Amino acid sequence: MFLTSPINCDNYKSLFIGDSNINFANIENIFEDINATHISKFGGDTQMVLGNLKKIDEFIHKDLEKIFLLIGTNDLFVMNLSEKELVGNLFKILDHIKNHKKNFDIYIYTLLPRYEKSENTLIISYNKLLKRHMKYWGLNNIYIIDTFNYFFDEESGSYIDKYCMDTIHLNKQGYEYFKKITYENL
């Protein structure tokens, strides 16, 4: 079950779905101007999303205009899914959402960098695989927002320190930058 979601989904135009980086974000305030809310959980993964599609459906059946997905870190590093399995789960989620035949945009964020260089190698590989599959599928109204490159310091092989509060989660400045990146890609 998702830890955080609004009780009433009638008034929202944008839905963010994700793990702790969405859960900690205070989405309703950061993205107030696009009338956003979120469904998220600390430790969330794609299996959790697949198990909660009915909650997502409640939003889709309303006047939703945009869906944003930032999920996958826990799949790779906690659930130990392969990159291919993670992409497969993400496409199951996308297929479910697109089967509603509603005309809204879906934005998928690439995974954010982490502190450990070895973990970033896997994230870079996954992000490339995701982009390749998105081109292959050629899905309409689905866009990639490459957040990884905005938050990654090539010289250190790690995230940019000023945007993170620990080894993975964004801080207040990081969320402001996340918002700016999001709006630049709408």
Asked whether residue 99 is assigned to any structural domain, the reply reads: yes
| Domain contains 1 | no
Residue-level pLDDT at 59: 81
Instruction: Report whether 97 contacts 56 (CB < 8 A).
Output: yes
Share of the chain above pLDDT 90, in %: 53
In a domain, 156, yes or no: yes
Residues spanned by the domain of 41: 14-184
* 6 in any annotated domain: no
Q: In whole angstroms, give the CA distance from residue 71 to residue 68.
A: 10
Task: Please give the mean pLDDT across all residues of the chain.
Answer: 88
CA gap 44, 168 in Å, rounded: 14
Q: Is the pLDDT of residue 78 over 80?
A: yes
User: Residue 2: inside a domain, yes or no?
Assistant: no
Q: What's the pLDDT at 72?
A: 95
Using a 10 angstrom Cβ sphere, with 0-12 exposed, 13-18 middle and 19 or more buried, the burial of residue 29 is exposed
Tell me what pLDDT residue 87 has: 94
Give the rounded percent of residues in the chain with a pLDDT score beyond 70: 92
Structurally, the chain folds into a number of domains equal to: 1
Q: Which of 12-21, 60-69, 123-132 has the lowest mean pLDDT?
A: 60-69
Q: Has residue 5 been placed in a domain?
A: no
- In CATH, what number is assigned to the domain containing residue 108? 3.40.50.1110
Q: Please check whether residue 9 lies inside any domain of the structure.
A: no
User: In the predicted model, is pLDDT for residue 168 greater than 90?
Assistant: no
Mean per-residue pLDDT, 5-24:
80
Tell me the mean pLDDT in the region 67-76. Answer: 95
Position 4 pLDDT exceeds 60: no
End-to-end CA distance of the chain: 30
Say which amino acid occupies 123: I
pLDDT tens profile 36-65: 988 888 888 898 889 888 888 888 877 789
Task: Give me the mean pLDDT over the 85-104 stretch.
Answer: 87
**In this structure, what is the dihedral angle of CA atoms 14, 25, 169, 146, given to the nearest 10 degrees?**
30
Q: For residues 16-44, give the mean pLDDT.
A: 88
Q: What is the pLDDT of residue 1?
A: 44
In a domain, 26, yes or no: yes
